[in-house]
Homo-oligomer: A and B are copies of this chain.
Amino acid sequence: MGDITTVAGRTLALADLHASLTDPVLDAMNFLNEVVSRFPEALSFAPGRPSEGGFATDDLARHLRTYTDHLEHGLGWSQERVRTQLFQYGRTNGIIHDLIARTLAHDEDIHVSAESVVVTTGCQEAMLLTLRALFARPDDTLLVSSPCYIGVTGAARLLDIAVRPVREGGDGPDPEAVLEAVRRTRAAGGRPRALYVVPDFANPSGASMTLAARERLLEIAAQEDLLILEDDPYGFFVRVGSARPTLKALDRERRVLHLGSFAKTALPGARVGYVVADQEVVGARGERTLLADQLSKIKSMTTVNTSAISQAVIGGLLIESGCRLREANAEAIAFYRANLNTLLGELDRHFPAERRRALGVDWNQPDGGFFLVVNVPFIADAKALEDSARNFGVLWTPMSDFYLEGGGERQLRLSCSALTPEQISEGVGRLAAFVHERAARSHR
């Protein structure tokens, strides 16, 4: 922050800026993003970043070429038209919407028109557009499965949208608790508009909804006139059992908006995500559009359109996979499965059952994904994290950042996606040393 002490002239008071800037949610997100860089030597269970194992820098040029070849030779476009596609402003809702729709059909048994897919600058923009479109009145309330990914609560904060947390159980959000929250929201004068949920291997909890819970949630959504914002970045990464159908695949009534990301299944650097918004919107004169068409109006005021270059890279990658991204992720799926198994095994090894009980330590056993949660017998806050990083060389994420309503003070999130098995093993050893030291200190 270089020369700010020598500033002449205009100084702004933080208190005079938008209230989101003093919200702990936004600070937490920045903290997560930058914590790794503050302790470069520490082993980090903090970020949910994907492994880079399958990627080489030269892939970018190859994917670009695959995409332009597809336009030129597959679709018969002239070189000038291809050039325009990459160079110019483009279609607001994206240029690879058709490839994404085809991929969703193959991978997820989600069958939607290409026109209902809005390609976005990462899934984060998809959340922002969706929230902006759906939340119109001060009493409109967003329900979120809690603990909750801070991307969505942060976006809600930017737009001054009221949020009500619905506490998760071991299998993710309990549909009956959602129903209860809907009723409480109404009783308090609010209008429950939508529920945000990550059904598979949630960030941060690692929890997954059972098939029965998914079906019941859709029933409740129909009965209570609730929309569901389904975010599914980790669904491919099954550890035990088999992949469950997404809420969108089960959705018969277009109550689900399906938010998608290529950050975990392709590369985060492209910043390409999407939202399937196939709901029908009826205007004052009875004119009918797709919700995707409405999102387009908003997108033209946030980013105009998603980078054509980034879309071309992701498009090339989809084409190369035959629009079967799950198959193309076979190695990644095996890698994350092995990593999560290694993490669970190392936790078992360092905290055998008896010691676990004595210390008051335990953790959940997610069916897949990047994350699990450890309960510890001390306050696992930013201060504890600093100590852990500096003195034990290991990073993790305080769970309390993910609870809007308080909670998670004695919980930490471990992510194993960006580590090697050796690093996981070493990291859990360091974590065990830290936990033992802390536990001993808190017993003193």
A253 contacts the other chain (Cβ, under 8 Å)?
A: yes
Q: Does the CB pair A86–B269 fall under 8 Å?
A: yes
Contact: B255 with A10, CB < 8 Å?
yes
Contact between chains at A151 and B115 (CB < 8 Å): no
Is A187 located at the chain interface by the 8 A CB criterion? no
Nearest-CB distance from A71 to chain B (Å)?
Answer: 10
- In the bound assembly, the distance between CA atoms of A154 and B298 in angstroms comes to 9
Q: Knowing A30-B92, A268-B88, A297-B20 touch, does A12 contact B280 (C-beta < 8 A)?
A: yes
A269-B89, A296-B30, A301-B124 given; A9·B252 CB < 8 A: yes
A193: min CB distance to chain B, Å: 9
Which residues of the partner chain B approach A132 to less than 8 Å between Cβ atoms? 18, 20, 158
- Bound Cα distance from A29 to B29, whole angstroms: 32
Q: Does A204 contact B (CB under 8 A)?
A: no
Chain B residues with CB below 8 A from A10, complex form: 225, 227, 253-255, 279-280
Q: From known contacts A10-B254, A52-B83, A297-B30, infer whether A280 and B21 are also in contact, taking CB-CB under 8 Å.
A: no
- Smallest CB-CB separation from A89: which chain B residue? B268
* B281 and A14 within 8 A (CB): yes
CA gap between A294 and B352 in the complex, in Å:
45
12 A-B contacts (beta carbon < 8 Å) = A8-B254, A11-B279, A17-B133, A17-B281, A18-B134, A19-B136, A20-B132, A21-B297, A33-B300, A56-B83, A128-B301, A159-B159
With A10-B225, A19-B136, A26-B301 given, can you name 20 additional A-B contacts, CB distance below 8 Å? Answer: A1-B290, A3-B113, A7-B279, A9-B255, A10-B280, A12-B279, A12-B280, A18-B132, A18-B134, A21-B294, A30-B300, A57-B86, A60-B86, A61-B65, A87-B267, A87-B268, A125-B302, A154-B301, A158-B302, A270-B308
Q: State the A residues within 8 Å of B (CB).
A: 1-5, 7-22, 26-27, 29-30, 33-34, 47, 49-50, 52, 55-57, 60-61, 64-65, 68, 79, 82-90, 92, 113, 115, 121-122, 124-125, 128, 132-136, 151, 154-155, 157-159, 222, 225, 227, 252-255, 263, 267-272, 278-284, 288-291, 293-294, 296-298, 300-310, 313
